Amino acid sequence: LGTTPWWKDAVFYQVYPASFKDSNGDGWGDIPGLVSKIDYLHHLGVDVVWLSPMFESPQQDMGYDISDYQAVYPRYGTLEDVDTLIEACHSRGMKLILDLVVNHTSDQHPWFEESRSSKLNPKRDWYIWKPPRYDDAGQRKPPTNWRGYFAGSTWTWDERTQEYYLNLYGPFQPDLNWENPDCRAAIYKEAARFWLDRGIDGFRIDTVNKYSKRTDFIDAPVTCPGAQHQPAPEMWCNGPRIHEFIHEMQTQALAPYGAVSVGELSNTPHPKQVLPYVSAASQELDMVFEFSMIRLGTGNLFHGKYNYQPFPLSVLKQHVATWQTFIEGTDGWHTVFCENHDNGRAVSRFGDDSTPELWEASAKAIALWQVTLTGTIFLYQGQEIGMRNMPASWGIEEYKDVESLGFYKEAIKAGDQKKVDTILHGLRILARDHSRIPFQWDASPHAGFTDAGAEPWMRVHDEYPSLNAAKQLADPESVLGFYRAALRLRKEYRDLFIHGTFKLLASEDEALFIYLKESEKDTGRGTGGERRKALVVMNFTSQRQRCPDIGGLLGSGRGREKLMFGTKRDSQTAVGGGEELTPWEGRVYVNF
C-alpha cells in the first residue's frame, strides 16, 4: 500500500457552485463563497474538492452547457477567484478538480455558431450534422428515431443550412464530433490544458463513454411501441473508437500534468465493459462513476426514467457486491458514492427520513456503509449533514431542472393525468432538483446560504432551522460529527476499508446488510497471522432486527470479536446471537 497513488485514499467532495455558498447576495452561490467554506471542508476531512461547472454558460443545464471553456460565469466570479480557490486548497494540502464537459457545448459556443453558419465553414465538421429523411407523405423526419435524455428527439433542425444536428441532451447542447482531429485537439487545449496550466489537479469527466458514437446512424429497435422517439443509448455509448479517444486525451492532456481523472460512465452496466476504462495498463482513466446502484428506483427504458419502481434491499446489495468486487485481482480501481447533483438525496431514497429519529439513524447508517466500502470515496455537498429531498408538499413550480421539466411537460402534452401523476411521484423521489437546493449552513434566514434580503435561485428547505451545519458542528453525536469520525477511521484502517476485499454475506436477507472486509495481506498486528477482518452489520430497516452471530460470521470464534465503531454511542460491545439491532443501527466488528 505504500506506493499507491494519492487519489485512492483521498476523500473527494463535490460542490455544486450555484447552491453551496453565496458571498455577494445575488442568490447564487459563487467561488468566493466556496473559498470561505474551505476550512469547513478541511475540518470534515475532505482532501479534494470537485467543483461542478463554473464556466461561461447560458445556464440552460446549470453550466453543463458551456459557451466559453476559458472563462468563468460572472455570477460565480472571475479567473482570479479560481486562482484564489486553488491557493486556498493547496495551502491546506487539499486539491481541486474541475468538470470537463466535452461531449457537447452550448449552442452559443463560438465553435457551434461557426459550425451552423454554413456547410462550408471549416468547423462544420466539429459537430454532427445529417440531412433529413422524408416519410411517404413527403414530411421531413429526423435522421434517426432516437430519444434524447431530456425527452424529445436527439436531432434539432437548422433552418439556415437545412440539416439536423445531434444533441443527446437538450437542443441547446449540440454534440461535438470527436471523429474530427482538429476538434479533439481544441478540446484538449481549451477545455483541459488551459485549467491544468492554471494549477488545478485534475478533472471529473462528464459523459465520458459517449465521445465515440456508432457511425452508421441507424434507427434504434422499437422498445416503446407507439412512442415517437425510441431509447437508443447503445447507439452512442462505448462506441468503436472510445478507448482510442480516451487514451489520446489521457496522453495529450492529462498525463503530462499528472492529473487525476474520474469519468462519468452511465449506461455501462457490465463489469467487463467498465474494466478497460479503469485498468492502469490501458492508461485511460483513474476511476469512473458507475450508475447501477444510484439509478435504483428509476424506471426502465420502456416506462421512462421518472416512473418510480420500488426495489428490495437484496437488489441494492447485489449491485454493491458486483461493483465492489469487479476490480479484485485486476489493476483497476473504483469509486464509492451514493449521491451527486443528478439524483435525489440518499437518506430519502435508501434510508428513512419520515421522522427525525429515523432520519438521523439512517443518515448515519449510510455514512457507515459508504466509509467501509473499497475504492475512492466521493461525498456530495450536504450529504454529510443528512440533507433530505425537497418536501413532498412542494409543487412543480419549485422544480427548475431542464430534465424534470422536460418529462413533466411531455406528460402534460400527452394530456394523460395518470402519466402526469406518475411523473410527479417519480420526481418527488428521484428528481435532480433535490440535490440542488441551497446548502443549509445555519438557522439564519435562507439557511445562511445567502443574504437575508436576497432571493435564493432555488427555494431553501423548510426545515433548515433544525437541520443545518452549524447545529451539527456543535454536536459530535450529529450526522456531521459521525461522518467526520468515520472518515478518520476509514483512513486509519485503510488496508481494510479503502483497499480491502469485499464479501457480501446473507445476500438474500431483506433487512440486514452484512459484509466482510479483509485486508489484502496479513498486517500482522495481533491477528496471530490471520488477515485482518472487519464485519460490517447494518440494519437497513426502520424496525428492530435480531443481530446475527457476529463471532460466527467474522470467523473469530464467539467472544473474540471486538466492536470497532457503530452508529450508536451505546452500541453493544457484548455480542453474539439473540441481541437486537435498533432501526438503522450499524456496527463494525474486527478480529484484531
Write out the residues near ligand TEU by the rule CB under 6 A. 61, 64, 101, 149, 169, 206-207, 264, 266, 305, 341-342, 403
CB-nearer residue toward ligand TEU: 64 or 155: 64
Q: Is 294 helix (H, G, I), strand (E, B) or coil?
A: coil
> Least distance to ligand TEU from the beta carbon of 340, Å?
7
> Least distance to ligand TEU from the beta carbon of 42, Å?
26
DSSP states of 499-523 as a string?
A: S-EEEEESTT-SSEEEEEEE-SS--
CB-nearer residue toward ligand TEU: 195 or 502: 195
Q: Is 37 helix (H, G, I), strand (E, B) or coil?
A: coil
> Least distance to ligand TEU from the beta carbon of 404, Å?
10
- What CA–CA distance (Å, rounded) separates 34 from 32? 5
> Least distance to ligand TEU from the beta carbon of 71, Å?
18
Going by C-alpha positions, the residue among 479, 290, 452 that lies closest to residue 460 is: 452
CB-nearer residue toward ligand TEU: 105 or 372: 105
Going by C-alpha positions, the residue among 6, 8, 2, 5 that lies closest to residue 377 is: 8
CB-nearer residue toward ligand TEU: 20 or 565: 20
- The conformation of residue 369, written as its DSSP 8-state character, comes to H
Q: What is the 3-state secondary structure (H, E, C) of 559-573?
A: CCCEEEEECCCCCCC
Q: Is 487 helix (H, G, I), strand (E, B) or coil?
A: helix
> Least distance to ligand TEU from the beta carbon of 578, Å?
45
**Helix 479-492 with 356-371: angle, nearest 10 deg:** 10
CB-nearer residue toward ligand TEU: 48 or 102: 102
Bridge partner list, 203 = 98, 261
C-alpha grid cell, residue 388? 433530505
Going by C-alpha positions, the residue among 327, 89, 105, 326 that lies closest to residue 202 is: 89
- The conformation of residue 187, written as its DSSP 8-state character, comes to I
CB-nearer residue toward ligand TEU: 301 or 505: 301
> Least distance to ligand TEU from the beta carbon of 172, Å?
11
**Helix 402-413 with 417-430: angle, nearest 10 deg:** 170
- The conformation of residue 354, written as its DSSP 8-state character, comes to S
Cα separation values, 316 from 204, 351, 501, Å: 25, 12, 18
**Paired sense of beta strands 202-205 and 230-231, if any:** unpaired
DSSP states of 431-486 as a string?
A: -GGGGGSPP---SSGGGGSS-TTS--SSPPPTTTTTS-HHHHHT-TTSHHHHHHHH
Given 30, 206, 401, 518, the catalytic residue: 206
Given 163, 264, 352, 585, the catalytic residue: 264
Run of H or E including 551: helix 550-554
Annotated catalytic, 206? Answer: yes
> Least distance to ligand TEU from the beta carbon of 345, Å?
15
CB-nearer residue toward ligand TEU: 176 or 498: 176
502: CB partners within 8 A, 6+ apart: 321, 324, 325, 328, 373, 374, 515, 516, 517
CB-nearer residue toward ligand TEU: 50 or 350: 50
Run of H or E including 261: strand 260-265
> Least distance to ligand TEU from the beta carbon of 210, Å?
7
> Least distance to ligand TEU from the beta carbon of 394, Å?
20
CB-nearer residue toward ligand TEU: 112 or 584: 112
CB-nearer residue toward ligand TEU: 166 or 536: 166
> Least distance to ligand TEU from the beta carbon of 81, Å?
22
Annotated catalytic, 264? Answer: yes
Cα separation values, 97 from 149, 195, 199, Å: 26, 9, 10
Bridge partner list, 206 = none
Place of cell 446502484: 293
Cα separation values, 389 from 263, 339, 430, Å: 26, 12, 9
Bridge partner list, 231 = 147
Bridge partner list, 140 = 134
Active site residues: 206, 264
